[in-house]
Amino acid sequence: MNRKYRKTVIAGNWKMNKTPSETKEFMTQFKAIMPKGRWCDIALCVPAVCIPAAVRAMRETRVGIGAENVNANASGAYTGEIAANMLVDAGCKYVIIGHSERRAMGETDADVNAKVLAALEVGLVPIMCCGETLEQREAGITAEHIAMQIKLGLQGVSEDKIRKVVIAYEPIWAIGTGKTATPEQAEEVCESIRTVVRKLYSSKNARAISILYGGSMNEKNAYELLAQPDIDGGLIGGASLVPEKFVQIIEAANQPTV
Ligand code: 13P
Protein backbone atom coordinates (compact mmCIF):
# COMPACT_ATOMS: atom_id res chain seq x y z
CA MET A 1 0.00 0.00 0.00
CA ASN A 2 0.99 3.56 -0.41
CA ARG A 3 -1.27 5.91 1.46
CA LYS A 4 0.52 9.00 0.22
CA TYR A 5 -0.82 8.55 -3.28
CA ARG A 6 -3.92 6.40 -2.94
CA LYS A 7 -6.60 5.03 -0.68
CA THR A 8 -6.36 1.71 1.06
CA VAL A 9 -9.63 -0.20 0.69
CA ILE A 10 -10.68 -3.24 2.69
CA ALA A 11 -13.76 -4.70 1.03
CA GLY A 12 -15.83 -7.75 1.88
CA ASN A 13 -17.60 -9.84 -0.73
CA TRP A 14 -20.26 -11.91 0.95
CA LYS A 15 -21.17 -13.75 -2.27
CA MET A 16 -24.38 -15.79 -1.75
CA ASN A 17 -24.14 -15.88 2.03
CA LYS A 18 -26.30 -14.45 4.82
CA THR A 19 -29.97 -13.54 4.94
CA PRO A 20 -31.20 -10.01 5.78
CA SER A 21 -31.68 -11.09 9.42
CA GLU A 22 -28.15 -12.48 9.56
CA THR A 23 -26.92 -9.25 7.98
CA LYS A 24 -28.43 -7.27 10.84
CA GLU A 25 -26.79 -9.59 13.35
CA PHE A 26 -23.39 -9.31 11.65
CA MET A 27 -23.57 -5.52 11.51
CA THR A 28 -24.42 -5.26 15.22
CA GLN A 29 -21.42 -7.41 16.12
CA PHE A 30 -19.15 -5.68 13.62
CA LYS A 31 -20.08 -2.19 14.81
CA ALA A 32 -19.24 -3.13 18.38
CA ILE A 33 -15.64 -4.04 17.51
CA MET A 34 -14.98 -1.86 14.47
CA PRO A 35 -11.65 0.00 14.65
CA LYS A 36 -12.03 3.73 15.19
CA GLY A 37 -8.97 4.70 13.13
CA ARG A 38 -9.31 5.98 9.59
CA TRP A 39 -6.35 4.37 7.87
CA CYS A 40 -8.53 2.70 5.23
CA ASP A 41 -11.89 2.78 3.52
CA ILE A 42 -14.16 -0.08 4.49
CA ALA A 43 -16.71 -1.65 2.16
CA LEU A 44 -19.10 -4.55 2.52
CA CYS A 45 -20.62 -5.91 -0.67
CA VAL A 46 -23.67 -7.99 0.14
CA PRO A 47 -26.45 -9.90 -1.62
CA ALA A 48 -29.02 -7.53 -3.14
CA VAL A 49 -31.77 -8.40 -0.66
CA CYS A 50 -29.40 -7.63 2.25
CA ILE A 51 -28.58 -4.12 1.01
CA PRO A 52 -31.42 -2.34 2.88
CA ALA A 53 -30.53 -4.02 6.19
CA ALA A 54 -26.82 -3.31 5.69
CA VAL A 55 -27.37 0.32 4.75
CA ARG A 56 -29.72 0.87 7.68
CA ALA A 57 -27.28 -0.68 10.16
CA MET A 58 -24.26 1.23 8.86
CA ARG A 59 -25.93 4.61 8.33
CA GLU A 60 -24.06 6.42 11.11
CA THR A 61 -20.73 4.75 10.31
CA ARG A 62 -18.08 5.20 7.65
CA VAL A 63 -18.61 1.72 6.22
CA GLY A 64 -19.75 1.83 2.59
CA ILE A 65 -22.22 -0.78 1.44
CA GLY A 66 -21.93 -2.31 -2.00
CA ALA A 67 -23.67 -4.69 -4.37
CA GLU A 68 -22.13 -7.76 -5.98
CA ASN A 69 -23.42 -7.15 -9.49
CA VAL A 70 -25.33 -4.61 -11.57
CA ASN A 71 -27.08 -4.59 -14.92
CA ALA A 72 -25.53 -2.26 -17.49
CA ASN A 73 -28.88 -1.00 -18.78
CA ALA A 74 -30.53 2.03 -17.25
CA SER A 75 -34.00 0.46 -17.03
CA GLY A 76 -36.43 -1.72 -18.94
CA ALA A 77 -37.50 -5.27 -19.58
CA TYR A 78 -34.73 -7.20 -17.80
CA THR A 79 -36.59 -9.43 -15.37
CA GLY A 80 -34.70 -10.06 -12.17
CA GLU A 81 -31.98 -7.50 -12.88
CA ILE A 82 -30.99 -4.39 -10.92
CA ALA A 83 -29.89 -1.08 -12.46
CA ALA A 84 -27.08 1.11 -11.17
CA ASN A 85 -29.34 4.01 -10.15
CA MET A 86 -31.44 1.58 -8.07
CA LEU A 87 -28.32 0.63 -6.13
CA VAL A 88 -27.51 4.28 -5.52
CA ASP A 89 -31.04 4.98 -4.38
CA ALA A 90 -30.84 1.98 -2.02
CA GLY A 91 -27.76 3.53 -0.42
CA CYS A 92 -24.92 1.67 -2.13
CA LYS A 93 -21.56 3.25 -2.68
CA TYR A 94 -19.75 0.33 -4.32
CA VAL A 95 -20.45 -2.45 -6.78
CA ILE A 96 -18.31 -5.49 -7.58
CA ILE A 97 -18.09 -6.03 -11.33
CA GLY A 98 -16.69 -8.97 -13.27
CA HIS A 99 -16.00 -11.33 -10.39
CA SER A 100 -14.64 -14.62 -11.76
CA GLU A 101 -17.68 -16.42 -10.36
CA ARG A 102 -19.90 -14.23 -12.57
CA ARG A 103 -17.56 -14.57 -15.54
CA ALA A 104 -17.94 -18.33 -15.09
CA MET A 105 -21.69 -17.78 -15.52
CA GLY A 106 -21.03 -16.21 -18.90
CA GLU A 107 -20.15 -12.59 -18.18
CA THR A 108 -17.76 -11.30 -20.86
CA ASP A 109 -15.19 -8.50 -20.87
CA ALA A 110 -17.67 -6.47 -22.93
CA ASP A 111 -20.33 -6.98 -20.24
CA VAL A 112 -17.83 -5.97 -17.57
CA ASN A 113 -16.97 -2.84 -19.52
CA ALA A 114 -20.62 -1.85 -19.96
CA LYS A 115 -21.24 -2.37 -16.24
CA VAL A 116 -18.20 -0.30 -15.25
CA LEU A 117 -19.44 2.56 -17.44
CA ALA A 118 -22.97 2.26 -16.01
CA ALA A 119 -21.64 2.35 -12.44
CA LEU A 120 -19.45 5.39 -13.08
CA GLU A 121 -22.34 7.17 -14.76
CA VAL A 122 -24.34 7.18 -11.51
CA GLY A 123 -21.39 7.72 -9.17
CA LEU A 124 -20.98 4.17 -7.87
CA VAL A 125 -17.42 2.98 -7.24
CA PRO A 126 -16.87 -0.06 -9.47
CA ILE A 127 -14.63 -2.74 -7.99
CA MET A 128 -13.57 -4.32 -11.27
CA CYS A 129 -12.18 -7.83 -10.90
CA CYS A 130 -9.59 -9.61 -12.98
CA GLY A 131 -7.63 -12.81 -12.53
CA GLU A 132 -6.07 -15.79 -14.24
CA THR A 133 -6.79 -19.49 -14.00
CA LEU A 134 -4.15 -21.96 -12.83
CA GLU A 135 -3.78 -23.14 -16.42
CA GLN A 136 -3.06 -19.62 -17.63
CA ARG A 137 -0.52 -19.09 -14.84
CA GLU A 138 1.22 -22.35 -15.66
CA ALA A 139 1.28 -21.44 -19.36
CA GLY A 140 3.06 -18.20 -18.46
CA ILE A 141 0.35 -15.92 -19.84
CA THR A 142 -0.86 -14.30 -16.59
CA ALA A 143 0.37 -10.80 -17.43
CA GLU A 144 -1.10 -10.86 -20.96
CA HIS A 145 -4.43 -12.20 -19.78
CA ILE A 146 -4.75 -9.62 -17.01
CA ALA A 147 -3.66 -6.79 -19.33
CA MET A 148 -6.39 -7.79 -21.77
CA GLN A 149 -9.06 -7.91 -19.06
CA ILE A 150 -8.02 -4.47 -17.81
CA LYS A 151 -7.86 -2.88 -21.26
CA LEU A 152 -11.23 -4.30 -22.31
CA GLY A 153 -12.87 -3.56 -18.97
CA LEU A 154 -11.78 0.07 -18.99
CA GLN A 155 -12.68 0.91 -22.58
CA GLY A 156 -14.31 4.32 -22.76
CA VAL A 157 -13.50 5.22 -19.15
CA SER A 158 -12.28 8.79 -19.35
CA GLU A 159 -9.15 10.22 -17.75
CA ASP A 160 -11.26 12.15 -15.24
CA LYS A 161 -13.19 9.04 -14.15
CA ILE A 162 -10.39 6.49 -13.86
CA ARG A 163 -9.51 7.48 -10.30
CA LYS A 164 -12.98 6.35 -9.24
CA VAL A 165 -12.31 2.79 -10.38
CA VAL A 166 -10.97 0.23 -7.93
CA ILE A 167 -9.33 -2.82 -9.49
CA ALA A 168 -9.25 -6.17 -7.71
CA TYR A 169 -6.74 -8.82 -8.71
CA GLU A 170 -8.13 -12.22 -7.81
CA PRO A 171 -6.25 -15.25 -9.11
CA ILE A 172 -8.99 -17.82 -9.69
CA TRP A 173 -6.88 -20.62 -8.24
CA ALA A 174 -6.68 -18.75 -4.94
CA ILE A 175 -10.40 -18.06 -4.48
CA GLY A 176 -12.00 -20.08 -1.71
CA THR A 177 -9.21 -22.62 -1.89
CA GLY A 178 -7.15 -21.55 1.10
CA LYS A 179 -4.30 -21.23 -1.39
CA THR A 180 -3.12 -17.62 -1.31
CA ALA A 181 -0.83 -16.06 -3.86
CA THR A 182 2.46 -15.24 -2.18
CA PRO A 183 2.95 -11.54 -1.46
CA GLU A 184 5.54 -11.53 -4.26
CA GLN A 185 3.21 -13.17 -6.79
CA ALA A 186 0.36 -10.81 -5.87
CA GLU A 187 2.62 -7.75 -5.99
CA GLU A 188 4.02 -8.73 -9.37
CA VAL A 189 0.56 -8.80 -10.93
CA CYS A 190 -0.75 -5.72 -9.10
CA GLU A 191 2.30 -3.79 -10.27
CA SER A 192 1.72 -5.00 -13.83
CA ILE A 193 -1.89 -3.80 -13.60
CA ARG A 194 -0.68 -0.34 -12.60
CA THR A 195 1.70 -0.38 -15.57
CA VAL A 196 -1.21 -1.17 -17.91
CA VAL A 197 -3.23 1.68 -16.39
CA ARG A 198 -0.21 3.98 -16.77
CA LYS A 199 -0.10 3.19 -20.49
CA LEU A 200 -3.77 4.10 -20.85
CA TYR A 201 -3.91 7.12 -18.52
CA SER A 202 -1.61 9.68 -16.94
CA SER A 203 1.09 8.51 -14.51
CA LYS A 204 -0.56 10.62 -11.85
CA ASN A 205 -3.83 8.76 -12.22
CA ALA A 206 -2.11 5.37 -12.46
CA ARG A 207 -0.40 6.20 -9.18
CA ALA A 208 -3.71 7.22 -7.62
CA ILE A 209 -5.86 4.16 -8.26
CA SER A 210 -6.35 1.49 -5.62
CA ILE A 211 -5.53 -2.07 -6.63
CA LEU A 212 -6.76 -4.77 -4.26
CA TYR A 213 -5.75 -8.39 -3.86
CA GLY A 214 -8.36 -11.10 -3.33
CA GLY A 215 -8.12 -14.85 -2.93
CA SER A 216 -8.06 -16.52 0.47
CA MET A 217 -6.95 -13.31 2.17
CA ASN A 218 -7.43 -13.73 5.89
CA GLU A 219 -6.46 -12.36 9.27
CA LYS A 220 -3.20 -14.30 9.15
CA ASN A 221 -1.81 -13.38 5.75
CA ALA A 222 -3.29 -9.88 5.32
CA TYR A 223 -0.45 -7.91 6.87
CA GLU A 224 2.21 -9.32 4.57
CA LEU A 225 0.08 -8.92 1.45
CA LEU A 226 -0.89 -5.35 2.34
CA ALA A 227 2.76 -4.48 2.98
CA GLN A 228 3.44 -4.76 -0.75
CA PRO A 229 3.77 -1.37 -2.48
CA ASP A 230 1.13 -1.96 -5.17
CA ILE A 231 -1.41 -3.86 -3.07
CA ASP A 232 -3.76 -1.18 -1.78
CA GLY A 233 -6.24 -3.36 0.02
CA GLY A 234 -8.17 -6.57 -0.13
CA LEU A 235 -11.34 -8.06 -1.53
CA ILE A 236 -12.22 -10.65 1.04
CA GLY A 237 -14.66 -13.52 0.71
CA GLY A 238 -14.87 -16.09 3.48
CA ALA A 239 -13.10 -14.05 6.15
CA SER A 240 -15.48 -11.11 5.65
CA LEU A 241 -18.36 -13.22 6.96
CA VAL A 242 -16.93 -13.29 10.47
CA PRO A 243 -16.83 -9.89 12.21
CA GLU A 244 -13.70 -10.68 14.26
CA LYS A 245 -11.75 -11.83 11.20
CA PHE A 246 -12.82 -8.90 9.07
CA VAL A 247 -11.80 -6.51 11.86
CA GLN A 248 -8.38 -8.16 12.11
CA ILE A 249 -7.86 -7.62 8.40
CA ILE A 250 -8.80 -3.96 8.79
CA GLU A 251 -6.28 -3.76 11.63
CA ALA A 252 -3.65 -5.34 9.39
CA ALA A 253 -4.06 -2.40 7.02
CA ASN A 254 -2.88 -0.09 9.76
CA GLN A 255 0.79 -0.17 8.92
CA PRO A 256 3.49 2.34 8.16
CA THR A 257 3.66 3.18 4.48
CA VAL A 258 6.29 4.89 2.38
P1 13P B 1 -12.13 -15.96 -0.54
O2 13P B 1 -11.55 -14.86 0.33
O3 13P B 1 -13.20 -16.71 0.14
O4 13P B 1 -11.07 -16.79 -1.15
O5 13P B 1 -12.86 -15.20 -1.76
C6 13P B 1 -12.17 -14.25 -2.44
C7 13P B 1 -13.09 -13.56 -3.36
O8 13P B 1 -13.54 -14.12 -4.34
C9 13P B 1 -13.48 -12.18 -3.04
O10 13P B 1 -14.17 -11.60 -4.09
* 155-211: pLDDT as tens digits: 999 999 999 999 999 999 999 888 889 999 999 999 999 999 999 999 999 999 999
d(CA 163, CA 41): 15
The question of whether 145 is a catalytic residue gets the answer no
Say yes or no: CB of residue 18 within 6 Å of ligand 1: no
What residues contact residue 54 under an 8 Å CB cut-off, 6+ apart? 23, 27, 44, 46, 65
pLDDT (0 to 100) of residue 37? 85
Please tell me if the CB atom of residue 176 comes closer than 6 angstroms to any atom of ligand 1: yes
Contact call for residues 235 and 8 (beta carbons, < 8 A)? no
Q: Is the pLDDT of residue 90 over 80?
A: yes
> What separation in Å is there between the alpha carbon of 17 and the centre of ligand 1?
12
**From 101, 132, 170, 187, the catalytic residue:** 170
3-state helix, strand, coil in the chain (%, to 5): 45, 15, 40
Instruction: Give the C-alpha separation, 230 to 190, whole Å.
Output: 6
10 Å Cβ neighbour count for 75?
A: 10
Q: Answer yes or no: are the C-beta atoms of 118 and 153 closer than 8 Å.
A: no
Alpha-carbon span 77 to 117, nearest angstrom: 20
Beta bridge partners of 83: 71
pLDDT greater than 80 at residue 233: yes
pLDDT in tens, 39-48: 999 999 999 9
Share of the chain above pLDDT 70, in %: 100
pLDDT tops 70 at residue 258: no
What distance in angstroms lies between residue 10's CA and the mean position of ligand 1's atoms? Answer: 12
Does domain 8-253 fall under CATH 3.20.20.70? My reply is yes
Given a cut of 90, whether residue 148 has pLDDT beyond it is: yes
CB of residue 126 inside a 6 A radius of ligand 1? no
d(Cα 30, Cα 5) in Å, to the nearest integer? 29
Residue bearing the CA closest to ligand 1, atom 7? 237
Mean pLDDT of the chain: 97
Q: What is the pTM of this model?
A: 0.98
Nearest-atom number in ligand 1 for the CA of 238 is: 3
* Residue 234 CA to ligand 1 centre (angstroms): 9
12 lines ligand 1 (CB under 6 A): no
Pair 144, 188: CB distance under 8 Å? no
26-41 residue pLDDT tens? 999 999 999 988 999 9
Nearest to 199 by CA among 161, 153, 147: 147
Whether 170 is catalytic is yes
User: Nearest-CA neighbor of 183 among 145, 131, 222, 142?
Assistant: 222
Q: Which pLDDT tens digit goes with each residue over 68-80? A: 999 999 999 999 9
Is any ligand 1 atom within 6 A of the Cβ of residue 215?
A: yes
Rounded Cα–Cα distance for residues 244 and 222 (Å)? 14
